[in-house]
Amino acid sequence: MADLEQMTGDWLARIGAAGDLAALETERVAALGKQGVVTGLLKTLGGMSPEERQSEGPRIHALREAVTAAIADRKAALEGAELERRLATEGLDMTLPVAGASEGSVHPVSQVMDELAEIFADLGFAVATGPEIEDDWRNFTALNIPESHPARAMHDTFYFDRKDGEGRSMLLRTHTSPVQIRTMQSQEPPIYVIAPGRTYRSDSDATHTPMFHQVEGLVIDRGITLGHLKWTLETFLKAYFERDDIVLRLRPSYFPFTEPSAEVDVGYTIQNGRRVLGGTDHWMELLGSGMVHPRVIANCGLDPDDWQGFAFGCGIDRLAMLKYGMDDLRAFFDGDMRWLRHYGFRALDVPTLSGGVGA
């Protein structure tokens, strides 16, 4: 073992002479691999006497440590030199065209919101918005929904643990009707608005999601009748579905915030196993509507003897499903790019009544 010092010098020289990472790896395997020279020396320790092991062990371990450190240092030096070479020789040509990325598309919900805004703008309606975190007074009480109404139940509504400055409970709005209340409180009549937006209820299946999109319409003016409501809905649905054979049927119903109230059914036929809106072969519920309850008008600081109005509401997601042939509401929120490529709309196509709102 007298030549360990010479061996150490030889290995350090060989490692230092390695010109690239591949050559360095060859030297590492020759010295420290399973069949390497240094590894072989370490294996001889087991056959030595205690006295030999005590004298030669530290020298062999010192050889291994020296070789290991030299390899690490040489590797760092070679990698640093390679990085400097690349930085000095490589460049980015900013004049080259960018590789084609996947084209963006408009989500069907956004498309339908644009279609609704275009249709109702032609009817003289503005778009109103409001916060998604509401107080229970605007979400329930002002809308003539009593304390015992099932809509207030915890299993339907997402409540917060805190209250607002007036001690009112806070919640995620269950409909966009609070926007109607805020609009009547902040604007002088006449009022013609639609309120599209996100709403939240504790429900989830193929046709319900905890978060969904809803649009509501509100008209407050003098001399408003149920006939104005029916004409507005007929005009809207014919323009939206782009069909002249859309037929509506109004059925008496009950909503706390309208009186009288009516469920709105739309006629459809079955073609090739699918529902196609139009005709009167079958009927399906599509909207809720009615004349604004006098108490709701009074709650907003208006005189119900002077002002009348109507309101209606429906799910935007459901409108999209019916018009564009989608079967499962949950797919709207899955984030599956294949689904969006199939049902999505070109980003620069703007719905217009002249060009077709569904174009």
pLDDT digit string (tens) for 169-178?
899 999 999 9
Q: How confident is the model at residue 1 (pLDDT cuts 50, 70, 90)?
A: very low
Half-sphere exposure of 306 (CA within 13 A, CB side): 7
- Global pTM reads 0.68
Enter the DSSP assignment of 154. T
Q: 3-class DSSP state for residue 242?
A: coil
Per-residue pLDDT, averaged over 91-107, amounts to 73
- Is the per-residue pLDDT at 22 higher than 60? yes
201 Cβ neighbours under 8 A, 6+ residues apart: 156, 157, 158, 174, 208, 210, 212
Q: How confident is the model at residue 282 (pLDDT cuts 50, 70, 90)?
A: very high
- On the 0-12 / 13-18 / 19+ scale of CB atoms within 10 A, 187 is middle
Measuring CA to CA, how many Å separate 34 from each of 39, 41, 64, 69, 291? Answer: 7, 11, 13, 18, 88
- Is the per-residue pLDDT at 2 higher than 60? no
Tell me what pLDDT residue 98 has: 66
What is the average pLDDT value for the chain, to the nearest integer? Answer: 89
Per-residue pLDDT, averaged over 33-56, amounts to 85
Per-residue pLDDT, averaged over 252-274, amounts to 92
Two tokens, residue 53: 């092991």
Please tell me whether the peptide bond between 190 and the residue prior to it is cis, using omega within 30 degrees of 0. Answer: yes
Measuring CA to CA, how many Å separate 269 from each of 91, 266, 314, 327, 332? Answer: 64, 10, 21, 17, 25
Q: How confident is the model at residue 303 (pLDDT cuts 50, 70, 90)?
A: very high
Per-residue pLDDT, averaged over 233-250, amounts to 94
Tell me what pLDDT residue 183 has: 97
